Every structure is written in structure tokens, then in C-alpha cells.
Amino acid sequence: MTASHFAQDAGQIAAERLTRGEIDRRSFLAAVGALGLGMGFEPDAHSAEAAEIVVCNWGGVAVSAFSKAYGEPFTHKSGIKVVVVGTGPAVGTIRAMVESGKVIWDTTDGGMIDSLTLSKNGLVQPIDYTIVDKSQVPDAFAGKYGVANYVFSNVLAYDSEATRGIAPESWTDFFDLQRFPGKRTMCKWIQGQLEFVLLADGVAPAGLYPLDVDRAFKKLAPMLPHIIFWDGGAQSQQLFREGEVVMGNIWHTRANLLNKEAPRFKWTWSQNLLFASAWSVPKGNPAGKKVFDFINSTLDPACQLTLFRLMGNGPSNPKTLELMSSQDAAVNPTSADNARTHIAVNPAYYAEHETELQNRYLDFISR
Amino acid sequence: MLPHSAGGYGVSNFKRTALMLTLPASIVAISLYAAPIAQVLALSVTEPTIGWSNYQRLFANPAVGRVVMTTLKVSATTTVLTVLASYIVAFELIHLSARLRRVALFLVLVPFWISVLVRAFSWITILRRQGILNSALIKTGIVSTPLELVYNLLGVTIGMVHYMIPFATLLLYANLSDIDRRIMQAARSLGASPAIVFYRVWLPLSLPGIALSTLFVFVFSLGFLVTPALLGAGKVLMLAEYVSIQISNTSRWDLATSLSTALLLVVGALVFVAMRSSALRAVFTAKPQP
């Protein structure tokens, strides 16, 4: 569920940026006015004729960011209204909706892994690639049940003052208490947490999946007393800011924010773990096939650049890179330099094993 | 239903009419409450297959066992500490003058009115490595490295006890203020020292209050979500958080519903057994003294 948590978190980031005056207040106010359940719904939304597309993401200012980056251009081109709802497309919620036959969302921003999990339970429709142009994104991002809208990475962030100027270079340094004394942080949600442990233990990137969970737990066990587990992006940032931790495995968007806050917080792109978020379409969605026109429009480089600049999410369409400035490129996971040593997380593996892994992991860290 | 009649039958008719009038609202409220619970119960025996397999697997699942043990441990510790602290506060409250008592009661109630999230975050601010408490301790030289007061069991216990004290204090205060002071005077006049008066008179008379607040705090702690989740940061995994994760994140509705139902049944049994004790029955039958 990391993609979902990430999306929610990206919205929070935009909210914080607003308070610092970096984002247009008008679009934020529109979102704030609509915060809460059923936000953005007009009275006639329930008549559900393909007069509008309902998009569900994780809320906060992701609502206005998606409206600006995805909604406005699409409405401009096609005349169909786009309503962004921030309720949060949790797997459980979608399941309840589809099983009761009352689906109110046309597409959800859930993550490639979620799209596979949902498909296993028969809750989503395949993406119609006769309408959505597959060639706009790399093959790995065009799954049967989900097409990637943006990407993000887990990176090794550190406090350069606490490490006395020595820069950690790889995940092995996470485990080096001699050279880097102090606490670390990693995520409570399993996605992207065991991979770096195995990499630090010497597993080659090609041989990561299926994950050798016992080996990862064995490596992680002695570090447990030194680790604080973050639950959400803001918390991961806060732990650094408060001096609780010296280094950690956090989302690149948060690492970027930390660095902008105080240059002593840095991160390395080395061996970053790349995730893709994705559009899924629940079965029985109100707008029917029209939603695929919308999805197709979100793969446009201009849209993706807008979203990147608003929330920091990397684009899924490689053409967007051509539109980026060098400043943009430095903090984008898909830029050539940053992507050199990245490891793409395997969605199919997680779709199969996430439930069991998450519970094993929670049990392990609480012992 | 008999129409209104004058004279002796008027009161019970009125009561009956009044009751009938509240019935529609009660039915709506209860069914809106009971229906989701019934759904959870139903899911626990139908998901993924019909039968008791979820419960069988529950008892065989060591991870669930650990979560239950942690929950019991934390709840028990919290209950003991809370009732102890609350008894002291309540005892002091009833011996204060009326004016001071108002102030003190207000101070007890203020945290009550603050959201549980705010309180949890405040505790983090106080207890963290560079937080208020550690900074003070280091500055005054009492310790040289920061103490680990949060993101562990200690932090969770502190947060939970702090949250529960107002509840237990008010319950105990209600009970203690009902105790007739003349009994104490009688004990003193018979030659009992203050200590004897406390142990042989106050304590036994306050058993109903102690029993009730113990039961209340314990049951409440079993289902606690926010405080342990925030202050424990993964290290202290309790039932409520575990169930919440199974519902939303891992979609293991079989595990979530069977565990919730089990908790409901256990708490129900606990309350049922506790209510049979004379101490608790005294709470509900005690008449206020003139």
C-alpha cells in the first residue's frame, strides 16, 4: 500500500508548500472548500451520465494538484468535467463499493501493486489500450489493469551534520553503526523496506525477487533497537528535523523537502527503489469507456510536468524529461543520472505476497 | 393502548406513551449501530468460506497471540497505574474546600476536552530525544545522553495512563463522595488511627468505585488505537491497530472480523462476570446519603 500512502503524502506536501506561498492559493482554496467526504460532488453527480469523470486520490492538496495538472487540460480539450475526490482508494473501500454494486469512482490513483491486488479479486477492469496510447510510457508502466501516472523512489536520506560530513553511499552504510552512530528510520509499511536490507546484505539487484524474507529479518534484527518506524511522509520528515534520526529510508519527495528546509539534510540516489503509482478502473464505473480518454490525457508530458512541479512526483512519460530544467531534473527519479543505479520494485511480487509480508513484518518489528 | 385517564392511572399511561414516542428513534439508532456489528459478525463466519475456520486459525496464529499478549500487558499496566493515580487524586478532591475542588475538577477535566491526537503529539514533543524533558535533564546534568522515553512501551504507557486518568478520577470521585463521612468520625472516635481508618474503612467502602474504574479503564484500553499507534511507532502493536490494518491495508477481512468478534465476546464475558461481583453491583444499587 505504499503507493497509496505516498499519494496521500504528496497531497500533504503540497499543502505545506501552500502555507509557504509556493502554490497558487486559488486552486488550494477550491480544494480546501471541498475537503471532507464527498468533496467535489455536484448535486447531479449521482445521475452518473458520462458528463463527468470522477477521480479518487488520497486527498489534501492532491485534489487541487490533480485538478490543475490532469483535470483542467482534459476538460478544456473534451468538455467533460473532471471531479477529483480525496477519499482515498483503499483496497477495502473499492472492494466494498464493487461488491455492493454502487461504484462512484471512475478511476483511482492506487499504485501498480494495488492494481494487481485489485485485479486478483476481480475488482477492476483491464485498461483499454485501444483508447489509451501505450507508447507514451515504458512497457513496465503499462500493465493490464493499471497504467502508471507518476513514479516515486525510496532513497537513503541522511543528516550530514550528524554524520560529521561523511556521506553514506549505499544501503550498507545504513547498517554501519561505527561510522554512522545514531538512530535510523524506515517505513512501517512493507513496500521498499526489505529490498534495501537484502541489497546491504550483498544480494545482487537481479536476484532480489522473490525476497528472501528470513535473510532480511536476520540482517535487520540487530538494528531494531536503533530504528524508529515512520507511518507517514510528514512523520519521516519530522524525525529528521527533530534530530531523532541520523539517516533513513524515506520517499524522495520528503528528502527533497528536507533539503530545501535545511541544506544539511541530503540524500543519495544510489540504489534508490523505484515505485510506480497507477490509474485503475473499478468494475462498473459510472462513466464507462470515457474514463480511458481521461487516462490517456494524463500521460501527456505537459500534464505530468505540472504535477511534478506541484507535488514532486516523477513523470511516467519519458518525454516529460525534455521539458524539465536542470533543477527539476536533479530531484526527479527518472532523470538519467538518478536512475542509473535504481532498482525497480516488482509489483507482481507484492500483489502476490504483500498481505502475508506486511503481517510478518509488523510482527517482526514489534517483538 | 389506553387513552389518557385522570387519577391514579395517569402516570403509568404517560410513561407508556412517552416510551412509545421514543421507540422509533431508539430503533433507528440501535439498528444503525447493531447492523454494522452484525455484518462484522456475519463476515467472521462467511469470509472466505462459511464455517468456524477463521476462529480456529485465530487461535493457531502466533502473531495474533503476540498482539493479544501485548494488548493485555499494556492494558493491565495502564489500569493499575491509572486507578492508583486516580484514587489519590479523587481522594484529595473530596477533602478539598468547595472552591479549591472546583478548580481541581476543572484541571482534571481540561485534558478530557483535548483531542487524543493532540495529546499524543504533545507527549511526543515532551518525551522525544531533543524534547522538553530530555533537554531539561541534560541541561541540569542529571543525565548525559537523552533517555529513550517515547517510540517504545514506556511512551505508550505514559500516553495511555494520561488519557485514562480523567475517566477513572471522575468515576472514583463520584463513588468516594457518596461515602458517608460520619463513618470516619465514628471510626476515629473508637480509637482508630488515620492509617487504620484508611485501610479498614475508606478502602473497603470505595471498592465499588475501584472495581468500576478498573473495569472501565481495562476495557477501554483493550480497544485503544491512536495513542499506542503514535507513541509506539510500530514497536507496540496492539489489537485495534492490528485490526485496522487488516481491514484497510491487507484486506484480510477474515482475520479482522474474527478478531474483533472475539474481542467483543471476551469483553462481554468479562463485564458479565464482573457485574456479578458484589462490589460492582453495589455501584448500581447504592443510594446517595443525605
pLDDT value of position A37: 38
Sort B29 into a burial class: Cβ within 10 Å, 0-12 / 13-18 / 19+: exposed
User: Which range has highest mean pLDDT (A48-57, B116-125, B271-280)?
Assistant: B116-125
Residue A9's pLDDT band (cuts 50, 70, 90):
confident
Lowest-pLDDT choice from A42-51, A264-273, A279-288, B249-258: A42-51
Residue B200 neighbours by CB under 8 Å, 6+ apart? B187, B192
Amino acid code (one letter) for A45: A
Position B289 confidence tier, pLDDT thresholds 50, 70, 90: low
Closest-CA distance of chain B to residue A242, Å: 7
Residues A229 and A356 in one domain: yes
Please report the pLDDT score of residue B29 as a whole number.
Answer: 92
pLDDT at residue A41 in the model: 38
Q: How far from B260 is each of A315, B32, B66, B76, B273, CA to CA, in Å?
A: 42, 18, 16, 19, 20
User: What string of H, E and C letters represents the secondary structure of chain B?
Assistant: CCCCCCHHHHHHHHHHHHHHHHHHHHHHHHHHHHHHHHHHHHHHHHCCCCCCHHHHHHHHCHHHHHHHHHHHHHHHHHHHHHHHHHHHHHHHHHHCCHHHHHHHHHHHHHHHHCCHHHHHHHHHHHHCCCCHHHHHHHHCCCCCCCCCCCCCHHHHHHHHHHHHHHHHHHHHHHHHHCCCHHHHHHHHHCCCCHHHHHHHHHHHHCHHHHHHHHHHHHHHHHCCCHHHHHHHCCCCCCHHHHHHHHHHCCCCHHHHHHHHHHHHHHHHHHHHHHHCCHHHHHHHHCCCCC
**Counted domains in chain A:** 2
Q: What is the pLDDT of residue A312?
A: 85
The pLDDT assigned to A51 comes to 80
Residue B11 confidence class, pLDDT cut points 50, 70, 90: low
Chain B residues whose beta carbon lies within 8 Å of the beta carbon of residue A93 = 248
B48 preceded by a cis bond (ω within 30 of 0): yes
Residue A91 touches partner B, C-beta closer than 8 Å: yes
What's CA B145's distance to the chain center, in Å?
35
Q: Which residue has the cell 529513550?
A: B148
Name chain A contacts of B251, Cβ cutoff 8 Å: 91-92, 95, 117, 121, 355
Contacts 24+ apart (CB under 8 A), A212-215: A213/A357, A213/A360
> Domains along chain B?
1-46 (no CATH), 52-285 (1.10.3720.10)
Question: Taking CA atoms, what residue in B is nearest to A244?
Answer: B129
Single out the residue of A73, A8, A13, A25 nearest to residue A309, CA to CA: A13
Predicted local confidence at residue A232, as pLDDT: 84
Q: What angle do CA B143, B148, B149 make, to 5 degrees?
A: 105
Residue A82 lies in domain = 2-151+275-336
Q: What pLDDT digit, counting tens, does each position of A236-256 carry?
A: 989 999 999 999 999 998 898
Task: Please report which confidence band the pLDDT of residue A45 belongs to, taking 50, 70 and 90 as the band edges.
Answer: very low
Using a CB-CB distance cutoff of 8 angstroms, which residues of chain B are in contact with residue A242? 128-130
A267-276, A298-307, B126-135, B273-282: least confident range: B273-282
A19 at interface of B, judged by CB pairs closer than 8 A? no
Q: How confident is the model at residue A25 (pLDDT cuts 50, 70, 90)?
A: low
Shared domain for A51 and A181, answered yes or no, is: no
Matching residue, cell 495529546: B119
**Same domain? A230 vs A358:** yes
Do residues A147 and A199 share a domain?
Answer: no
Taking an 8 Å cut-off on Cβ atoms, the answer to whether A188 and B234 are in contact is yes
CB pairs under 8 A between A and B: 66
Q: What is the mean pLDDT of residues A130-151?
A: 92
**A362–B242 CB contact, under 8 Å:** yes
Q: Residue A153 contacts by C-beta under 8 Å, 6 or more apart in sequence?
A: A251, A252, A269, A272, A273, A274, A275, A314, A333, A338, A342
Structure confidence at residue A47 (pLDDT)? 42
Report the chain A residue with the minimal C-alpha distance to residue B68: A363
Is the same domain home to A68 and A181?
no
Query: SS3 letters for A102-160?
Result: CCCCCEEECCHHHHHHHHHCCCEECCCCCCCCHHHCCHHHECCCCEEEEEEEEEEEEEC
- Alpha carbon of B275 to those of A122, B211, B261, B284, B288: distances in Å? 48, 10, 21, 10, 20
Q: Which residues of B touch A358 (CB under 8 A)?
A: 245, 249-250
Which pLDDT does position B251 carry in this prediction?
Answer: 82
Is A15 or B112 the better-scoring residue by pLDDT?
B112
- Based on the domain organization, do A168 and A251 belong to the same domain? yes
Residues with Cβ within 8 Å of residue A129, at least 6 apart in sequence:
A142
Residues of B in contact with A213 (CB under 8 A): none
Higher-confidence residue of B12 and A127: namely A127
Cα B214 from Cα B271, distance rounded (Å): 11
Please check whether residues A232 and A354 belong to one and the same domain: yes
Average model confidence (pLDDT) across chain B: 90
Least confidently predicted of B30-39, B70-79, B80-89? B30-39
Residue A23 has pLDDT above 60, yes or no: yes
The confidence band for A32, taking pLDDT boundaries of 50, 70 and 90, is very low
Q: What's the pLDDT at A234? A: 83
Q: Which residue of A has its CA nearest to B248?
A: A92
Shared domain check, A190 and A295: no
C-alpha to C-alpha distance for A243 and B57, rounded to whole angstroms: 43
Instruction: Sort out which chain A residues have CB atoms less than 8 A from B248's CB and list them.
Output: 1, 90-93
Among A188, A189, A242, beta carbon nearest to B130? A242
Q: Say whether both A218 and A316 belong to one domain.
A: no
Residues B74, B220 contacting (CB under 8 angstroms): no
pLDDT band at B247 (very low <50, low <70, confident <90, very high): confident
Q: Is A36 in a helix, a strand, or coil?
A: coil
On the question of pLDDT at A289 being above 80, the answer is yes
Same domain, A218 and A351: yes
**Cβ contacts of A231 on chain B, cutoff 8 Å:** 229, 233-234
Q: Do residues A181 and A244 both lie within one domain? A: yes
Instruction: Please list, in sequence order, all residues whose beta carbon lies within 8 angstroms of the beta carbon of residue B47, skipping any fewer than 6 positions away.
Output: B54, B253, B254, B257
Distance from C-alpha of A317 to C-alpha of B201, rounded to nearest angstrom: 79
- With CB atoms and an 8 Å threshold, state whether B233 touches A229: yes
What's the grid cell of residue A245?
534520526
- Say what the pLDDT of residue A31 is: 47
Work out the mean pLDDT of chain A and round it to a whole number. 87
Report the run of H or E that residue A344 belongs to, with start and end. strand A343-344
**pLDDT, tens digit, 9 for 90 and up, residues B265-281:** 999 999 999 988 887 88
In A254-287, which positions are buried (b, 16+ CB within 10 angstroms) versus exposed (e)? bbbbbeeeeeebbbbbbbbbbbbbbbbbbeebbb
The arithmetic mean of pLDDT across residues A132-156, rounded, is 93
Residues A161 and A252 both lie in one domain: yes
Q: Does B226 touch chain A (CB under 8 A)?
A: no
Asked if B141 reaches chain A (Cβ–Cβ under 8 Å), the answer is no
What DSSP designation does A322 have? G
Average pLDDT of the segment spanning B170-178: 92
A244 contact B CB<8A: yes
The pLDDT of residue A126 is: 94
State whether A362 and B245 contact (CB < 8 Å).
Answer: yes
- Cβ distance of A363 and B63 shorter than 8 Å: yes
Cell output for B30? 440501535
**pLDDT at res. A36:** 36
Radius of gyration of the CA atoms of chain A, in A: 20
The ipTM assigned to this model is: 0.83
CATH number at residue A11: 3.40.190.10
CA distance A191 to A275: 9
Mean pLDDT check: name the lowest of A49-63, B47-61, B149-163, B230-244. A49-63
